[in-house]
A and B are shown apart, each in its own frame.
Chain A
């Protein structure tokens, strides 16, 4: 039998039920994998004792026939999710050591279904970043490296640690959050599956807020079926989140293999950006070919306001962040510096606690919301956002799903793009538009760049139509037959 850490979630569930191995063994193997991949800095907190206790309980539940949907499955949890009594800091110095007295709804659902937490995953500070380089605990490192140079690459972000843990076989699955691409882009960089559900599909309660009109939780996994299994548990209405929708949660696994015959696949011309890398164009063309050959109907579509999505996002997200992050004042939790008076104490605590990118975004957000600038920037961005959403709505009159690259490049070197904020922002050029429109998107590992780094294709769906992007994703996954391990590529020991 293959190593337990190589299993998919689906296979692990079946192996546990058949008693081929125990939850304790599965967890122990993953604890060892976490230790062995320490250098990747995927985890900022390890909860091995909790995991061991929970896996003993899982074995009992499996024996007594009370197993939950994810009973005994070891997962990583992005540090943005509040976990009761366990360090939850959004990888910010301002919250270092924070132990919430409550549990986020999504993680509670996962624990209720029997999942086992291995630890909290590294991420960009407050989910602001696309390379996991803004974490106060140092960067997470991509387990993939280019064939020739062996240079260290970023895992993408903000859910970088989650993607690394899953790609490096140091978790069977992970939770992430996606505001402008923070699940899909790291999934693409690390050769794993990343699903951002429709805004309102999963509860945001207990997830440390960045931009409330955009934030959404979702799974990072090694197969599309695993993403569906995770979403089955994570999705659903929550009375504690008034923006979660009281809408039936279908069984996302049931129709995975429905195929793509007759499916109308939109290819947006505006995503063919100037200077696109030839490998990205080639991968996209290959994806189109796969769908065409399987009986899918390819349609050229237009999303005219695509080029305005990033600047719109970089007004709206910082504006919401400046408001959400007002709570870090050194009074109720987190870091406190001494000051001459109350306001000086606030200002110095926040100056010390926030990293450079967070400060930059809070400042931009404060500026665009301030008197005299609100209409010119914030209100204008909200109006452009309406146009971007309308573009998608119109397109979905003619197509069922939209196919694009996930990111304009593969993973870049650690330390690259950190000097120029806008060059970092451009990473999310293909993921941000769907975020602004609240649509579900999934990144499927679909190929390797010439230097041997993974590349993903993105499928965007109608609101609450995760079923279609999952089944189209399942098709893409099968067509691409992407089963490479990072260790196949670099021979990293023990991964």
Chain B
């Protein structure tokens, strides 16, 4: 079992997804099921194969360095759960 309870807790922390203590075992079982299944990739010889990072062979296009359409501040804030004076509000992070 590559994914034990401690690993689930670590992934949960990294992914910023809270998992209740009583669910950890179930999650571990599900994740192990998937990881066991993908292990079959180890059979494939990829020694001299480059990883594929893009399916299209293209050079990243560059645009001219000039001002183009931007967004309206009020519009961007309009979907936020909480905003104040033109800013997003988050819980206090610095004492």
B-binding residues in A (CB < 8 A): 98-102, 198-200, 213, 239, 242-243, 245-246, 305, 307-308, 311-312, 314-315, 322, 326, 329-336, 339, 341-348, 350-351, 354, 359-360, 362-364, 366-367, 370, 377, 379-387, 389, 421-422, 436-438, 463
Pairwise interchain contact B3-A367, C-beta atoms closer than 8 A: yes
Residues on B with C-beta less than 8 A from A362 are 15, 17
Total A-B pairs in contact (CB under 8 Å)? 163
Q: Which of B11, B51, B55 contacts A437 (CB 8 A)?
A: B55
* Docked-complex contact A322 and B15, CB < 8 angstroms: yes
Q: How far is the CA of A483 from the CA of B68 in the complex (A)?
A: 49
Q: How far is the CB of A194 from chain B (nearest CB, A)?
A: 20
Please measure, in the bound complex, the distance between the C-alpha atom of A213 and the C-alpha atom of B80, giving whole angstroms: 28
Chain A facing B: main interface SS: helix
For this complex, 11 residue pairs linking A to B, each with C-beta atoms less than 8 Å apart, are A243-B56, A336-B81, A341-B92, A360-B31, A363-B8, A364-B31, A383-B46, A383-B52, A387-B46, A437-B55, A438-B56
Docked complex Cα distance between A344 and B11 (Å): 15
CA distance A198 to B56 in the complex (A): 9
Are A242 and B60 in contact, CB atoms less than 8 angstroms apart? yes
Q: Nearest-CB distance from B39 to chain A (Å)?
A: 8
- Contact residues in B for A387 (Cβ distance below 8 Å): 44, 46, 49
Q: Are A342 and B79 interface neighbours, CB within 8 A? A: no
Residues of A within 8 A of B14 (CB): 366, 370
- Contact between A329 and B16, CB atoms less than 8 A apart: yes
A308 and B46 alpha carbons, distance in the complex (Å): 12
Residue of B nearest to A216 (CB): B55
Q: Pick the contact of A383 from B51, B55, B90 — CB < 8 Å? A: B51
Closest residue on chain A to residue B10 by CB atoms: A370
- Given contacts A333-B80, A347-B18, A350-B16, are A342 and B35 in contact (CB under 8 A)? no
With A and B bound together, what is the CA distance between A382 and B55 in angstroms? 11
Q: Give bound CA distance, A359 to B34, whole Å.
A: 13
Known: A351-B19, A377-B38. A213 touches B54 (CB 8 A): yes
Contact A380 B17 (CB under 8 A): no
Contact A380/B37 with A200-B58, A331-B88, A370-B14 known, Cβ cut-off 8 Å? no
Please determine whether B58 and A311 come into contact, CB atoms closer than 8 angstroms. no
User: Does B84 reach chain A (CB closer than 8 Å)?
Assistant: no
Interface residues of B: mostly helix, strand, loop or mixed?
loop
Q: Which residues of B contact A381 (CB under 8 A)?
A: 38, 41
Structural contact, B61 and A246, CB atoms closer than 8 A: yes
Question: A207 to chain B: closest CB distance in Å?
Answer: 17
In the complex, what residues of B have CB within 8 A of residue A347's CB? 12-13, 16-18
Min C-beta distance of A169 to chain B, whole Å: 34
4 A-B pairs with the lowest CB-CB distances in the bound complex, closest first: A438-B55, A382-B51, A101-B75, A383-B46
Interface contacts beyond A200-B55, A347-B12, A366-B14: sample of 16 additional A-B pairs, CB < 8 Å, sorted by A: A101-B71, A101-B72, A243-B54, A341-B92, A342-B91, A350-B16, A363-B12, A364-B34, A367-B11, A377-B38, A380-B41, A380-B46, A383-B52, A384-B46, A422-B37, A438-B56
| Separation of A260 and B88 alpha carbons in the complex (Å) | 59
Q: Which residues of chain A come closer than 8 Å to B82, judged between CB atoms?
A: 336
**Within 8 Å CB of B56, what residues of A?**
198-200, 243, 245, 438, 463
- Our pick among A308, A436, A463 for the contact of B40 (Cβ within 8 Å) is A308
Interface centre among B19, B56, B72 (most CB of A within 10 A): B56
Name the distance in Å between A345's Cβ and chain B's nearest Cβ.
5
A341 and B31: CB pair below 8 A? no
Is residue B93 contacting chain A, with contact meaning CB distance below 8 A? Answer: yes
Cβ-based interface call for B21 (8 A):
no
Task: Determine the residue in chain B with the shortest Cβ distance to A198.
Answer: B56
Q: Which residues of B contact A246 (CB under 8 A)?
A: 61
Please indicate the chain B residues that have their CB under 8 angstroms from the CB of A343 in the complex. Answer: 16
